[in-house]
Amino acid sequence: MKVPLSWLRDYVDPGMDAQALAALLTDAGTEVAAVEGGGEGVRRVVAARVLQVRPHPAADRLRLCEVDWGGGRNPVVCGAPNVREGMLAPLALPGAVLPGGRTIKEAEIRGEISSGMLCSGAELGINDDASGILELDDDFKPGDDIAERLGLGQPVLDLEITPNRPDCLSIVGVAREVSVLTGAPLLLPPIRVEEEGEAVERDFSVEIIDDDLCSRYVARLIEGVRIGPSPLWMQHRLKQAGVRAISNVVDVTNYVMLELGQPLHAFDADLIREGKVLVRRAREGEEMVTLDGVRRRLHSHTLLICDPGGPIALAGVMGGLESEVTGSTRRVLLESAHFNPASVMRTAREQDLPSEAAYRFERGVDPGGCLRAADRASVLMREMAGGSVRRGAIDAGTGAPPKARMNLRLERASRLLGVGLEAAWVKDTLKGLGCEVAEGTGKTMEVTAPTFRPDLEREIDLVEELARIYGYQRIPSTLPSRRARGGGLNARQRDLREVRKLLVGMGLHETISYSFVSSEENRLFGPAEGSPVVIANPLSEEQSEMRRSLLPGLLSTLQYNYRRHLEDACVFEMGRVFHAREGERLPREELWLGVALMGRWIPRQWDRPGEDADFFTLKGIWENILEALSLWEQDLRPLRRGYLHPRLAAELVVAGRTVGELGRLHPAILRDRDLPPGVVVLLADLDTLLGLDRESRQYREIPRYPAVHMDLSVLAPRELEAAAVTRVIWECGGELLKEARLFDLYVGKGVPEGQKSLTYGLTFYDLTRTLREEEAKAAFEKIVCGLKDRLGIRIRS
């Protein structure tokens, strides 16, 4: 949003230069990205009367002019085709400075002296017309300073407007901000419409068919207009604001849009068939030609302005060529409406038609300002193009929505900001922002937000406004009181952070993958029970359901790395999986941990080959996680899952609860995914795991007396889990047994068919004295007897 400072000062004079004003607005949340112009001001350009025009003796396209600029008569060589005797034009005297720093000097052109230069509108930066000399209005007199009269060279503020502040997409909106920030009075443009003739409803009607996309449509009729150029001051202001001047009628609609923030459109009223305006959705495949001459195919969701013969405008985006205002237009039907922001945005993007009007409609135009903008434009058109304004205005639709009302508690606002706010200042500030303020009960104010501030919905929004205007830089920085409870992580968050820190510390890399997978992946990797959550509008078939397992994302990461010759990858993800719940709209969400190891766990070094990750590597990682969470009662049970190796898969059991699974991927899955052999994965339900009761950590004293170490080898059936043997050893070992570690498993020569050899290292000691060998042997024998009696296994000889 470009705001010419000379234009802004028509409504508020803050009494400060452009740089200071830019800093003030930026501090209050309306960022000024740049201050343009103001440094290379136009100098020594005056109005001059052309007294005489004659041919140049040495050049066919040049003419010799004599001009009177009030301080003398100067000869000027001019090549403009429109120069003529009697016209008033801007003259750049010798020594004059034009926009861009161009300096004019007295020169000899084809043997003739030129003491100055007659200027075009483009050369002065007033408009883009470089085809001829700029002709001045009769209001000018020879000698008048052009820069002073038109405000040339004045600075322009380039504002970055946030999407929640559509009111600042207007000069008046910015002026309101400046007024409340500086205390300077706000002088809004007066609007007094002089109406004539019969009511406009006699000749025209408006019907809103699709009122969900258009809540209000105001129309005024101006008759007897004469199309021509707009005044120079208006052309210059439009150019400073980044809008091209076209004609007086069209320029007025753009001027009011910039001034009040309400986009307008002017139709040639005589080209509207039957005098009926219809606001409706397009019919699928319907076509129209817009003002840029492009024939556009429309869709059924596109909102149109139509007459009985068809479309005459894309609502809120661009008018149609059939109803365009041209030089022959004598009657103008002026549109001022409120369109649905999403509808305008969709049409503008779909048709690739960005415009100043669409930019404002997308962010939300004030529905309560439609009539005011139409009245303002009618007054200006009457002044600029002549004619008369027909009596009354058509105002169709539901009108402005109810204003938001809220209660503001002064004590709470002061506490939130950390400053004592005076009631009088708060009231004046909110009124300055356009709110209506009434005294409530006690220290409460009843505040009604204006319709041009859709962002004011709750009490906290008002507190934010007070903070902006008070000045963020003025709010003191204070530390919380000692009694205030500081924030922090809860127990669950601490546990999750601990698990993440542990995995990263062991060399794993965390990944994040999409929550969308294909139905095939959900069927293959998801749990057998439950149903998937199907996406209503999927991006693709491969992302048609919410994931029921973290494995698809982890395997995609491994596959991506392996195909790029990164053969060693150890990754994990903490993410949510989703399951549909019968009879409920929202799915069930569960937090899971997924780990996948591919290739080497210990990298290859120059002097050693490294170590491949396998089932037991991942088992060790799992045990480290349980230890970090103080969960000691854990077990592994055989598991058969379609995507896991039938002999290297286990169910994770903690405190008697199944919390996940661990195993090597099935060779068929590896072939299908183009992955190397030996990939192992782990899945754990963190919600269940973190909900289990913990055992507090217990630390043992370091023994001061010698320990007794003994090895125990037993023959056990192959199907018997080693964990069962370990459990019996601990139960029978008594208080003297301090360590039982399985360090060897052997199957082969010397071991009977169907059995395996398990060898444990047992450590016995007493913290208070030296343990006698007979005591250790007695404890050892209890273990041997317990294994024989409970599990039916014997010592290996």
- H, E, C per residue of 22-38: HHHHHHCCCEEEEEECC
Give strand ranges (E) for 387-450: 388-391, 394-397, 405-409, 436-439, 444-448
Question: Domain check: are 202 and 312 in the same one?
Answer: yes
Number of CB atoms found within 10 A of residue 118's CB? 24
Question: Domain check: are 503 and 611 in the same one?
Answer: yes
Host domain of residue 661: 492-690
Would you say residue 482 lies in a domain? no
Cα–Cα distance, 706 to 719 (Å, whole number): 37
Cross-sheet strand order for the sheet of 444-448? 405-409, 444-448, 436-439
Would you say residue 701 lies in a domain? no
Would you say residue 480 lies in a domain? no
Distance of CA 782 to the CA centre of its chain: 70
Question: Domain check: are 50 and 127 in the same one?
Answer: yes
Distance of CA 343 to the CA centre of its chain: 19
- Domain boundary pick from 658, 690, 722: 690
Would you say residue 697 lies in a domain? no
Would you say residue 486 lies in a domain? no
Q: Closest Cα partner for 777 from 724, 702, 712, 715?
A: 712
Give the phi and the psi of residue 553 in degrees, each rounded to 5. Answer: -65, -40
pLDDT confidence tier of residue 154, bands split at 50, 70 and 90: confident
Alpha helices in 629-685 (DSSP H): 667-673
pLDDT for res 23: 93
Question: Domain check: are 641 and 511 in the same one?
Answer: yes
> Does residue 574 surpass a pLDDT of 80?
yes
Interval 192-235: pLDDT, tens: 999 999 999 999 999 999 999 999 999 999 999 999 999 988 99
Cα–Cα distance, 681 to 398 (Å, whole number): 61
Question: Domain check: are 513 and 577 in the same one?
Answer: yes
Please count the structural domains in the chain: 6
pLDDT for res 483: 65
Q: How many degrees, rounded to 5, is the angle at CA 304 between CA 301 and CA 308? A: 125
Return the percentage of the chain with pLDDT > 70, whole number: 98
Would you say residue 83 lies in a domain? yes
Q: Which 3 state secondary structure label does DSSP give 340?
A: coil
Taking each continuous run of H as one helix and of E as one strand, the counts in the chain are 21, 42
409 strand-pairing partners = 444
pLDDT confidence tier of residue 609, bands split at 50, 70 and 90: confident
Distance of CA 785 to the CA centre of its chain: 71
Question: Domain check: are 362 and 414 in the same one?
Answer: no
Question: What residues contact 732, with CB distance under 8 A and at least 6 apart?
Answer: 782, 783, 785, 786, 787
Would you say residue 618 lies in a domain? yes
Cα–Cα distance, 202 to 204 (Å, whole number): 6
Question: Domain check: are 380 and 301 in the same one?
Answer: yes
Cα–Cα distance, 236 to 126 (Å, whole number): 4
Q: Closest Cα partner for 507 from 572, 418, 576?
A: 572
pLDDT confidence tier of residue 147, bands split at 50, 70 and 90: confident
Question: Domain check: are 48 and 82 in the same one?
Answer: yes
Interval 510-558: pLDDT, tens: 999 999 999 999 999 998 888 899 998 888 989 999 999 999 999 999 9
User: What is the pLDDT averaged over residues 341-369?
Assistant: 93
Question: Domain check: are 600 and 469 in the same one?
Answer: no
CATH number of the domain enclosing 411: 3.30.56.10
Interval 71-111: pLDDT, tens: 899 999 999 999 999 999 999 999 998 887 789 999 999 98
pLDDT for res 442: 64
* DSSP, res 451: T
> Does residue 400 surpass a pLDDT of 80?
no
pLDDT for res 797: 66
Taking the CA atoms of residue 366, residue 369, residue 370 and residue 375 in that order, the dihedral angle to the nearest 10 degrees is -150
As to burial, measured by CB atoms within 10 angstroms (0-12 exposed, 13-18 middle, 19+ buried), residue 617 is middle
Q: Are 762 and 780 in contact (CB under 8 A)?
A: yes
CATH number of the domain enclosing 554: 3.30.930.10
> Does residue 127 surpass a pLDDT of 70?
yes
User: What is the pLDDT averaged over residues 332-359?
Assistant: 94
> Does residue 632 surpass a pLDDT of 90?
no
Question: Domain check: are 222 and 316 in the same one?
Answer: yes
pLDDT confidence tier of residue 484, bands split at 50, 70 and 90: low
> Does residue 40 surpass a pLDDT of 70?
no
User: What is the pLDDT averaged over residues 715-720?
Assistant: 90
Return the percentage of the chain with pLDDT > 90, whole number: 75
Taken as a whole, the chain contains a residue count of 797
Cα–Cα distance, 484 to 229 (Å, whole number): 67
pLDDT for res 479: 75
- Domain boundary pick from 662, 690, 718: 690
Q: Which helix (H) or strand (E) holds 179?
A: helix 171-182
pLDDT for res 190: 85
CATH number of the domain enclosing 328: 3.50.40.10
> Does residue 38 surpass a pLDDT of 70?
no
Cα–Cα distance, 68 to 70 (Å, whole number): 6
Question: What residues contact 601, with CB distance under 8 A and at least 6 apart?
Answer: 507, 570, 610, 611, 612, 613, 614, 617
Q: Are 729 and 740 in contact (CB under 8 A)?
A: yes
Average pLDDT, rounded, for the chain: 91
Give strand ranges (E) for 611-674: 611-612, 634-638, 644-654, 657-665
Q: Can you give 385-403 as a three-state secondary structure string?
A: HCCEEEECCEEEECCCCCC
Question: Domain check: are 514 and 625 in the same one?
Answer: yes
Would you say residue 699 lies in a domain? no
> Does residue 591 surpass a pLDDT of 70?
yes
Question: Domain check: are 118 and 167 in the same one?
Answer: no
